[in-house]
Each structure stands twice: as structure tokens, then as C-alpha cells.
Amino acid sequence: MTAPHLQLQAVGKRFGAVEVLDDVSLEVRPGEFVSILGPSGAGKSTILQLLIGAVTADCGQMLVDGRPLAANDPHFAYMPQRDALLPWRRVLDNATLGLEVRGTRRAAARRLVAPLLEEFGLAGFEGHYPAQVSGGMRQRVALLRTVAQQSGMLLLDEPLGALDALTRARMQAWLAEMRLRHGWTVLLISHDVRETVQLSDRIYVLSRRPARVLREFAVPFPHPRPPTGSPALAALEAEILAELFKLEP
């Protein structure tokens, strides 16, 4: 078995009197798509904030390829819940923003991003402003901005949560295809059981706050997966939902 690319070992985090994470341990192997599910407010997004250095763990270890994660390590590319596109920048320049923040000059960033526009379904829309394109297209711009940073791992924080059901289903299929094509390593935060079963190789279920890992589910089905009609996928969804229902107060 391939050695873990990312490891969290007994990580804990408290904000003042509120204990958010308690002894959280998980791992992601190279090329793997791993998701985290859990109740609202359980600390799922806090895990990503720890990885990008926005907050600091109180205890435990975070390792990348067996080495402690360093402060300001550019190893991760982070996509927040909302697309966070700048309304005054056109599609192309929103897609280059992550590279520019890391010090790449705009002209060079455009040269890096341009070959990906067609693959991301954005060719011909480079000069449009965010308000002029659809919600699904905005999310593809945000993901392109994340991918263009050429980091070792993508951190996706409920990236499709704001989309309508049909657009979301299409985006899930597109994301699954792109991940297979490029071999991305992904850690996804989600509250959508079906989404995680469609996309993931493994799923961690967190408890209520203070969060700890309750169960780990393998998703042993080949990609691409059918969006509907698979009894095996439906059975796994039901098993995960049953675990989550146990967490209801």
C-alpha cells in the first residue's frame, strides 16, 4: 500500500472555551480522493484551516510525506465554500489570482492558465466578468484558480454547496472526470452523503463537537460511477446516513 501523503495524528483544537477537534486522526494517500462528513459545526472546515495555516493546532501532528507540515507551506491549494471570485476581474484574471498571490507575474500566470481554459469549459469566456456567467461556470473558474497553483493536494470546502441540484449533479460528474484525468489528490469537506459516495475513495465521518473520527468508510467501486440506479452505491449511502442519524440530538 502506498505511504500516506497527508497524515493527521491526534490533532486537537480549541477556540477559547469551545473544544472543536478532539484527537482527530486521518490520512490521504497520493492520488486519493478522501471526504469528511459530519454534523454542522463539528469542525470539518477547521481541519482545512489548520492545513493552510489559518489557525494552529493545540496538540497532535500534521505530516506531509512523513515530515511535519511547516508554517506557510504552499503544499495545499484551498478552495473555499463560495467561489470568492472578484467581480471586477474577468474570468481569466480570476483564474490567475492564486498564482499571482504566490508571486507569479500576471502575464506568466495567464500563460500557465490559458491551456486549461478549454478543458474547464471556459474557452470563449475569458473576457467575461463573474456576473456574466452561470453558477456552475463560476465554480469551474474557482477550481481552475485552485488547480493552477500546481500544489500537491487540493483542499475543497463544500465547493458545490451553493449550486442548484441539477448543476450540482453535472459538476460532480465533471469533477470526477477531471480528477481521474489529472490524478489529483483531494481532501473534500461536504455535508452531502451522495456527493461523497460518488466522488470518494474513502470517507471519514466525524462526531458532534468536539469532533473525533467515528468511522471510516471505503468506497470500493470503480470510477466513473453512475449518478443513479446503483443498488451498491445506494446501500453504502444508507449505511453512512444511518451513522449520521445516530449523531442527532
Whether the pLDDT of residue 247 is over 80: the answer is no
Whether the pLDDT of residue 9 is over 90: the answer is yes
Tell me the backbone φ, ψ of residue 166, rounded to 5 degrees.
-70, -45
Predicted confidence band at 84 (pLDDT cuts at 50, 70, 90)? Answer: confident
Count the alpha carbons within 13 Å of 190 in the hemisphere toward its beta carbon. Answer: 23
Whether the pLDDT of residue 228 is over 70: the answer is no
Predicted confidence band at 180 (pLDDT cuts at 50, 70, 90)? Answer: confident
Whether the pLDDT of residue 162 is over 70: the answer is no
Q: 19 pairs with which residues across the strands?
A: 14
Whether the pLDDT of residue 8 is over 70: the answer is yes
Higher-confidence position of 245 and 9: 9
Q: Quote the pTM value.
A: 0.90
Average pLDDT over residues 30-47: 91
Predicted confidence band at 155 (pLDDT cuts at 50, 70, 90)? Answer: very high
Strands 6-15 and 59-64: antiparallel
- Retrieve residue 197's grid coordinates: 459516495
Report the pLDDT value the prediction gives residue 229, as an integer from 0 to 100.
60
Higher-confidence position of 22 and 170: 22
Report the pLDDT value the prediction gives residue 249, as an integer from 0 to 100.
63
CB 189 within 8 A of CB 48: yes
Task: Determine the Cα–Cα distance for residues 220 and 201; give it in Å rounded to an integer.
Answer: 7
Tell me the backbone φ, ψ of residue 244, rounded to 5 degrees.
-70, -35
Report the pLDDT value the prediction gives residue 219, as an integer from 0 to 100.
92
Task: Determine the Cα–Cα distance for residues 193 and 237; give it in Å rounded to an integer.
Answer: 6
Domains of the chain: 1-75+193-249 (3.40.50.300)
Average pLDDT over residues 6-30: 93
- 3 state SS of 193: helix
Whether the pLDDT of residue 91 is over 90: the answer is yes
Whether the pLDDT of residue 10 is over 90: the answer is yes
112: left (phi over 0), alpha (psi -120 to 50) or beta: alpha
Average pLDDT over residues 79-96: 88
pLDDT tens for each residue of 93-150? 999 998 898 888 988 989 988 888 888 888 889 899 999 998 888 888 988 898 888 7
Whether the pLDDT of residue 211 is over 80: the answer is yes
Nearest to 8 by CA among 26, 20, 21: 26
Predicted confidence band at 248 (pLDDT cuts at 50, 70, 90)? Answer: low
